[in-house]
Structure 1
Amino acid sequence: MAKSSADDVELRRACESAIEDPKQKILISIRVAKTHGIFGKPSKLGRQMAKPRVLALSTKSKGQSTTAFLRVLKYSTGGVLEPAKLYKLKHLSKVEVITNDPSGCTFTLGFDNLRSKSVAPPQWTMRNIDDRNRLLLCILNICKDVLGRLPKVVGIDVVEMALWAKENRPSVSTPRNVQDGGPVASSVPETELKVNVEKELVSQAEEEDMEALLGTYVMGIGEAEAFSERLKRELHALEAANVHAILESEPLMDEVMQGLESATICVEDMDEWLGIFNVKLQHMREDIESIETRNNKVVMQSVNNKSLIDDLDKLLERLHVPSEYTASLTGGTFDEARMLQNVEACEWLTGALRGMEAPNLDPAYANMRAVKEKRAELKKLKSTFVRRASEFLRNYFASLVDFMISDKSYFSQRGQLKRPDHADLRYKCRTYARLLQHLKSLDKNCLGPLRKAYCSSLNLLLRREAREFANELRASTKASRNPTVWLEGSTGSGQNANATDTSTVSDAYAKMLTIFIPLLVDESSFFAHFMCFEVPTVIPPGGVANGNKTGYDDDDMGIMEIDENDSKSGNTSSELATLNELLQELLGGTHEDFYAVVDWAYKIDPLRCISMHGITERYLSGQKADTAGFVRLLLGDLESRISKQFSRFVDETCLQFERNERIVRQTAVLPYIPRFATLATQMEQYIQGQSRDLVDQAYTKLVDIMFASLEKVAQTDPNLYDLANIVSTLVKFYHEASEAYEQACTRHISMIIYNQFERLFQFAKKIEDLMLTVAPEEIPGHPGLSKMDLRKMLKSSLSGVDKSIAAMHKKLQKNLTSEDLLPSLWDKCQKEFVDQYGSFAQLVAKVYPTENIPSVAEMRDLLASM
């Protein structure tokens, strides 16, 4: 037979290590399999997942009492035993062997203290009957010896258990620790492992007498009547012998009776004496009880008085206000050397105020006059200190900024660009960071005026720095002062414009962003930290933003978490809204200097809007934190202003195309075609890997105007196309124009489709970019690309797809000057949309195979029906 896990020394040691209680003694540890059945219905074995567990029986002695436990241990990921459940055996009410298990190795243990009666108890399955009997007998034995009772046993025969216990009576070798630390075999008493069930039936002596009696009479079943008669005769003989013996002992009985009479007389005399003594003792007992009652009252009064004196001493200690703290709170200065004492006084005041509030103060003391007076005194100290500190900080902020503004060396001067340096300003402010934290803890309402005072003071400095820097930046930039004119005048003007190097213009704009965008971000983040806003930071403390170190961290500012519950109060959104409003006051007005640089660059070279747009996009994509909200708005406004300026340039160029129509009709020459090539070449040079959206839209608009003008010329002079077919020199240009026309049509159609279905194809672009490095099945786990995001996008993009398609047709028709081109362009538009949607459908099938979207055929039919 295989060795039982109950004899596994390593298993028992692992259980002892998992319990980590040296006072508990493990009696048995055995491996089992755990399954669950359905409450009220017997579960079918083999249909549920069995989990390996270890059951361990342990006892813990405390004085004369012993507590028994049933521990359930499970295996962790690393294969190490760890506690899972703990039951007290005193609550064990039922042991039931599951009848559905033919092997009889599955049983349940019912406890009467389980909260949920609707959940079936777990089922434990042993390897064999011997292990089951061994564990159950050990449980029953502990219940009988420790608790003095047995639980209800269902599904198992007690006689069968008794026979098994008798057959397995020999001692079991169990490991014990000796001095050398090695396991040795020692005899364990049977009572530690088995319950002697047979003694519940008959004792050993009774069993031996019955065997001796039955051995005396060896007879068959047919001799029962003879056996009965023989027993009757022997009974009569024994009764007769007893009567004879009684008669022979009559003289002795008379002597006994005489002794009893004399003893009765003595007992009566003693009873009389005892009655007298009982009365006296009763009176004495009453006196003792009276004395004990008075003594108990005195003792109780003494204990109560001592407890009252202790509580009053503690209360008086809590009500005491140290004189040094009072001096700091009411009349101390706020110099840097005194800040440590001020912070200590704030900490004491905060703790004292909390100590006067529930639940820190016993409700019995809340209405005491002394407590009320002391609470009023503390509140007066708080209001006095908050008022003094707020007034000092408002004046301090204004004085710092006034000192910097009065010193011209802080700003850019003629011939010298000065990078703004706020390190000294922030260093001086950090001295009072802890003070602001305590002011917030004492009175949150005082922070509002302080924040506004800081914003109004620092805003003057930032606007002055931006204005001086922008003015000197434009003055020191060497660039042509003559505005560049494109597509107007003679061919030579375009060539001169192309030869002029205006890169210093965009470099100046980039320098403006490089210097001031990180500065504004750092100021926003420092303001959020310094003024105790509970919002996420720009970057981790001590990190780098856009290549510039923020120059501060929490340790330098001396900020600690005064109240840990403040950050979890759920008011982050309101804090963020308040922060954004104050950032408008802090940084407002600086945008005018950025606008001035953009307008100055546009006047010098409108095409520099392309490179400035790309620079702005890069900075805009880098601002992710909540505290950089104003900076994102500023960059967005700059991007919009640059786009408007460039659109203005494109519109002016289109007007030049239209003005050239009169010259073309007279000379049959398109002078803006080669000039447009020069313009496009210059625009491509300015892109240099940046976003092409701005340039592509300009191309589309310019080419549309060019071909519209060409179409008008052709309608006016139909010999133009015939001339191109006859003259071999014009054939090449004709084909080039046709090819350019096709490309222009493709770009125009793509732009129209993208404007109507921007979210759809942006979603597809994100999937395509991720598929270069990520497996398709992992893409739904990325932010913004989950199945829910796909459904939201489809709902917003395709819910009114018929209206979107109609809008595409209307847009295409609006931009055409000739109705003859509409059918061919609409066919191209339909084909391009179907191709792009087909690519999107293939991506969805790969990444989201379970999601249903409109098929390509449905889209093609919908387009055909328009």
Structure 2
Amino acid sequence: MAKASMEDAELRRACAAAIASTGAKEEVVFSIRVAKGRGIFEKLGRLAKPRVLALTSKASLRVLKYSTGGVLEPAKLYKLKHLSKVEVVSNDTTGCTFILGFDNLRNHSVAPPQWVMRNIDDRNRFLLAVLNICKELFARLPKVVGIDIVEMAIWAKENTPTVTVEVSSDNGPTTEVPVKREIKVTVEKDLVSQAEEEDMESLLDTYVLGIGEADAFSERMKKELHALEAANVHSLLESEFLIEEVLQGLEAARACVDDMDEWLRIFNTKLRHMREDIASIESRNNKLEMQSVNNKALIEELDKLLERLRIPSEFAASLTGGSFEESRMLKNVEACEWLAGAIHSLEVPNLDPSYTNMRAIREKRAGLEKLKTTFVKRASEFLRNYFSSLVDFMISDKSYFSQRGQLKRPDHADLRYKCRTYARLLQHLKSLDRSSLGPLRKAYCQSLNLLLRREAREFANELRASTKASRNPTVWLEGSTGPSQAPNSADTSTVSEAYAKMLTIFIPLLVDESSFFAHFMCFEVPALVPTGGPALNKKGAKDHDDDDDDLGIMDPDGNDMKPDSGTSELGTLNEALQELLDGIQEDFYAVVDWAYKIDPLRCISMHGITERYLSGQKADAAGFVRKLLHDLESKISVQFGRFVDEACHQIERNERNVRQIGVLSYIPRFATLAARMEQYIQGQSRELVDKAYTKLVSTMFTTLEKIAQSGDPKGADIILLENYAAFQNSLYDLANVVPTLAKFYHQASEAYEQACTRHIGGIITGQFSRLFEFHRRIEELSFTITPEEIPFQLGLSKSELRKVVKTSLSGIDKSINAMYRRLQRNLNSEELLPSLWDKCKKEFLEKYDSFVQTVMRIYGNENIPSVDEMRELLSSL
């Protein structure tokens, strides 16, 4: 036993050291070794996972495990206040396995902890320690299942463990004295006390002999119960005098209680009256205090309201009669900001709705509206006169415009600088009265329109006067001009450069003016000039630095105004820009007309320049500039269309000539025209030129067909093949790089082949008419009768065949020479003769080969020259 106690003490010390290592300050009051299992491990003989259970002074159950080195370390912690159930597992016949159920386990799907003790004594020791702690600290016991609580009480009585207590003496060292410590289980509900247990045992011992006769035992128990009841009644009767004394005492106490109740009722009435008086006093006091607070708040609110209604004298002077000079603008802007804020502060929700109908508020609002109307009228009249005077001053000074021998770029930097002085004023006018901006915008547009039109007119006039270029004739495809002559091809590039310079100077200017106008006149639209700007010169580079048109406009609160891209003012702005820039397009049209008169082909270059500027413009508020470029593009297209129509008329005049031989004059001249048109395209859109090619070439081919049909039928094919060949020869290089011309090149090639086939076929048929006529008749009869019957038809006998062959092929060399001379005599272009003669020999051999095969199929082996003999003969000639 002493050894067991020493082991227990050593185990507690090890547990205390393991718990202290975690930083917890708890005293170990009980510890025991157990095994953690689930029943199945016992059957397999594997009681794995040895553990130590320790009860601490803080009513907690700590589970400790052995580390790899055999040292205890904390594993889990359970609070005994959450212990709801102690159950001994019924499957374990030894009774050493039990389960502890805790009501705070989060995962109810996990089985509660199950432990296996070494023996029943260890189990009882541990469970009794747990139950005693629950009883003493929490005044409750967990539910005990699967174990007889009486047996536990008996075991606790019989097994009082001996513990070692350290005792120190006065004259000697400290000694350890073994002392028996009683283990008891105190039960209130679920358990029975020790005395009750002894009574039950004595009772059972008394009746143990007659327990076998149930009826006799029951009867005996009833008799004893009656005897006990009679004894109780007798004892009550003996104590009657005591009961009388108790009743008398109770009556006296009742009288005292009645007197006490009467006194309390009187005191309650007095207290109620006092409470009512106190409540009345508090009510009057609260009303006075509330009235004082309300009066103070009312005075403060009235002071604020009066401050809103007061008009500072310096602002009133600026709004009613102040000057609009530049030095005074800061004060005018401050006055505008105050006026806008004052009007805004008298509107709901900035003003309490209960104040809106007050007479003072209505009068002050009317006064502010009158002040606003007066100021807006004065400022609007000043700005209208100011815009007009600025423009009049610039128009009267000729140094602002282009003069003879000097092109002057329009410079509006000074004008914009002077206008920016009043940008904030316009912004405040808009916030005060939006309708006042309409007349101001109109006045600004009318004044600046005069300046812009004057600048464009002077610049365009001087630009045309200073540009030197030889005039090119418009008669490009006239038939009267000799085929070897070429039209005047003087350099007219200065015309295109002049047009490009006009756009380079004025398109960015108009975009900048549109942007400045939109910002200056407070239009809520997005920025007009895209990133990088559209101001490009003829080489596509930026030609000037854009003016900084950031007006720095802010709202009355001092915040930058950010334009709303979804605003509805875009349409209004474009209408105003139409009025601002209307009329300036006439000077652009004049430059286009002037360039067309000098060289119509320069329309191609101008069209490309205009397209490049159009691609740099976005569909934004500068709508007039985009519309102007579209109109210029349309006008250039119309002018070029006039040139193409005139060229088509010149081509069609060739049809009226009495006799046309050889290559028509417009064929080689068109090649020259196309080459120059390609030079003017310079990588721009081909749509304009391709349409011109289509119209011109279609007219050329149609006219050629009409000329061929109106002349000698025998020479129609010669005219066609010579002209189609000339078309191909002259456009061979261009057709390789221009898809539209390549299409017409292939069309001419097909027409040339067809004309060659018809012409050569006529020559061959004319020279060997009997031979091939005989062959044609055989071919026709082959569709209606069998080949064996053909030699018996009239005119198709073998003798007729021999006559035809003898007549046609005797002197074949002379016939072939005659065919060559006929081909040579009718042809005007000698360079075509070799290729045509090769085609003629090839066509003749094909026809002759077909004739020979037909004869061999119908007439058998007739004696006629073979195809190889004929081929050698043609080669030798």
TM-score by length of 2: 0.56
How much does 1:206 deviate?
11
How much does 1:197 deviate?
14
Asked whether the 8 Å contact 1:365–1:371 carries over to 2, the reply is yes
Question: Could you tell me which amino acid in structure 1 is paired with residue 189 of structure 2?
Answer: D
- Residue 346 of structure 1 pairs with residue 341 of structure 2: no
What is the rounded CA distance, in whole Å, between the counterparts of 1:228 and 1:451 in structure 2?
123
- Residue 693 of structure 1 pairs with residue 687 of structure 2: yes
- Residue 617 of structure 1 pairs with residue 600 of structure 2: no
Q: Secondary structure at the match of 1:660?
A: helix
> Which aligned pairs between 1:147-546 and structure 2 lie closer than 5 A?
167=112, 209-212=189-192, 254-481=244-471, 483=473, 485-488=475-478, 490-491=481-482, 495=486, 497-498=488-489, 500-539=490-529, 545-546=535-536
Question: Could you tell me which amino acid in structure 2 is paired with residue 378 of structure 1?
Answer: L
Asked whether the 8 Å contact 2:413–2:547 carries over to 1, the reply is yes
How much does 1:431 deviate?
1.9
Once the two structures are superposed, residues 676-708 of structure 1 have per-residue CA deviations (whole angstroms, 9 ceiling, x without a partner) of 222111111111211111111111111122222
Once the two structures are superposed, residues 446-470 of structure 1 have per-residue CA deviations (whole angstroms, 9 ceiling, x without a partner) of 1111110110011011101101110
Name the CA shift for 1:725/1:601 in 2 (closer, same or farther; >3 Å). closer
Which of residues 633, 639, 653 in structure 2 aligns to 1:645?
A: 639
Q: Secondary structure at the match of 2:659?
A: helix
How much does 1:356 deviate?
1.2
Which of residues 567, 581, 589 in structure 1 aligns to 2:575?
A: 581
Once the two structures are superposed, residues 610-643 of structure 1 have per-residue CA deviations (whole angstroms, 9 ceiling, x without a partner) of 1001111111121114112111111111111111
Residue 149 of structure 1 aligns with which residue?
none
- Residue 552 of structure 1 pairs with residue 543 of structure 2: no
Which of residues 704, 712, 720 in structure 1 aligns to 2:715?
A: 720
How much does 1:484 deviate?
5.2
How much does 1:298 deviate?
2.1
What is the rounded CA distance, in whole Å, between the counterparts of 1:631 and 1:503 in structure 2?
25
Asked whether the 8 Å contact 1:477–1:504 carries over to 2, the reply is yes
Asked whether the 8 Å contact 2:340–2:431 carries over to 1, the reply is yes
Q: Secondary structure at the match of 1:497?
A: coil
Asked whether the 8 Å contact 2:453–2:583 carries over to 1, the reply is yes
Identity %: 67
What is the rounded CA distance, in whole Å, between the counterparts of 2:739 and 2:463 in structure 1?
45
Name the CA shift for 1:231/1:425 in 2 (closer, same or farther; >3 Å). farther
Question: Could you tell me which amino acid in structure 2 is paired with residue 550 of structure 1?
Answer: D
Farther off after superposition, 741-750 or 685-694: 741-750
Name the CA shift for 1:543/1:476 in 2 (closer, same or farther; >3 Å). closer
Asked whether the 8 Å contact 2:553–2:561 carries over to 1, the reply is no
Name the CA shift for 1:708/1:730 in 2 (closer, same or farther; >3 Å). closer
Q: Secondary structure at the match of 1:380?
A: helix
What is the rounded CA distance, in whole Å, between the counterparts of 1:478 and 1:525 in structure 2?
35
Asked whether the 8 Å contact 1:486–1:493 carries over to 2, the reply is no
Asked whether the 8 Å contact 2:473–2:487 carries over to 1, the reply is no
Name the CA shift for 1:655/1:273 in 2 (closer, same or farther; >3 Å). closer
Name the CA shift for 1:658/1:267 in 2 (closer, same or farther; >3 Å). closer
What is the rounded CA distance, in whole Å, between the counterparts of 2:219 and 2:241 in structure 1?
36
Question: Could you tell me which amino acid in structure 2 is paired with residue 331 of structure 1?
Answer: G
How much does 1:286 deviate?
3.7
Once the two structures are superposed, residues 209-253 of structure 1 have per-residue CA deviations (whole angstroms, 9 ceiling, x without a partner) of 32448996899xx99999999999998899788768866766665
Asked whether the 8 Å contact 2:671–2:730 carries over to 1, the reply is no
How much does 1:404 deviate?
1.3
Which of residues 698, 701, 704 in structure 2 aligns to 1:707?
A: 701
Name the CA shift for 1:603/1:289 in 2 (closer, same or farther; >3 Å). same
Question: Which runs of no fewer than 5 residues in structure 1 stay unpaired?
Answer: 1-133, 138-156, 171-195, 751-866
What is the rounded CA distance, in whole Å, between the counterparts of 1:647 and 1:623 in structure 2?
26
Residue 607 of structure 1 aligns with which residue?
601
Question: Could you tell me which amino acid in structure 1 is paired with residue 642 of structure 2?
Answer: R
Farther off after superposition, 654-663 or 524-533: 654-663
Asked whether the 8 Å contact 1:538–1:625 carries over to 2, the reply is no
Asked whether the 8 Å contact 2:460–2:502 carries over to 1, the reply is yes
How much does 1:425 deviate?
1.4
User: Which of structures 1 and 2 has the bigger CA Rg?
Assistant: 2
Q: Secondary structure at the match of 1:665?
A: coil
Question: Could you tell me which amino acid in structure 1 is paired with residue 707 of structure 2?
Answer: V
Question: Could you tell me which amino acid in structure 2 is paired with residue 591 of structure 1?
Answer: Q
Residue 118 of structure 1 aligns with which residue?
none
Residue 655 of structure 2 aligns with which residue?
661
Asked whether the 8 Å contact 1:456–1:586 carries over to 2, the reply is yes
Question: Which runs of no fewer than 5 residues in structure 2 stay unpaired?
Answer: 1-78, 83-101, 116-138, 150-184, 205-210, 537-541, 748-877
Asked whether the 8 Å contact 2:526–2:564 carries over to 1, the reply is no
Name the CA shift for 1:544/1:678 in 2 (closer, same or farther; >3 Å). closer
Name the CA shift for 1:562/1:252 in 2 (closer, same or farther; >3 Å). same
How much does 1:377 deviate?
1.1
Asked whether the 8 Å contact 2:552–2:560 carries over to 1, the reply is no
Asked whether the 8 Å contact 1:431–1:557 carries over to 2, the reply is no
How much does 1:715 deviate?
1.1
Residue 76 of structure 2 aligns with which residue?
none
How much does 1:260 deviate?
4.1
What is the rounded CA distance, in whole Å, between the counterparts of 2:353 and 2:291 in structure 1?
23
Question: Could you tell me which amino acid in structure 2 is paired with residue 529 of structure 1?
Answer: H
What is the rounded CA distance, in whole Å, between the counterparts of 2:108 and 2:352 in structure 1?
65
Once the two structures are superposed, residues 153-200 of structure 1 have per-residue CA deviations (whole angstroms, 9 ceiling, x without a partner) of xxxx99999998994799xxxxxxxxxxxxxxxxxxxxxxxxx99999
> Which aligned pairs between 1:582-597 and structure 2 lie closer than 5 A?
582-597=576-591
- Residue 683 of structure 1 pairs with residue 680 of structure 2: no
Name the CA shift for 1:698/1:494 in 2 (closer, same or farther; >3 Å). farther
What is the rounded CA distance, in whole Å, between the counterparts of 1:711 and 1:287 in structure 2?
130
Q: Secondary structure at the match of 1:572?
A: coil
Residue 726 of structure 2 aligns with which residue?
733
Question: Could you tell me which amino acid in structure 1 is paired with residue 606 of structure 2?
Answer: M
What is the rounded CA distance, in whole Å, between the counterparts of 1:392 and 1:239 in structure 2?
126
How much does 1:510 deviate?
0.4
Name the CA shift for 1:560/1:493 in 2 (closer, same or farther; >3 Å). farther
Name the CA shift for 1:734/1:381 in 2 (closer, same or farther; >3 Å). closer
Asked whether the 8 Å contact 2:499–2:592 carries over to 1, the reply is yes
Q: Secondary structure at the match of 1:415?
A: coil
Question: Could you tell me which amino acid in structure 1 is paired with residue 579 of structure 2?
Answer: E
TM-score by length of 1: 0.57
Residue 634 of structure 1 aligns with which residue?
628
Question: Could you tell me which amino acid in structure 2 is paired with residue 501 of structure 1?
Answer: D
Q: Secondary structure at the match of 2:547?
A: coil
What is the rounded CA distance, in whole Å, between the counterparts of 1:229 and 1:474 in structure 2?
150
> Which aligned pairs between 1:837-856 and structure 2 lie closer than 5 A?
none
Q: Secondary structure at the match of 1:480?
A: coil
How much does 1:490 deviate?
3.5
Question: Could you tell me which amino acid in structure 1 is paired with residue 652 of structure 2?
Answer: E
Name the CA shift for 1:659/1:730 in 2 (closer, same or farther; >3 Å). closer
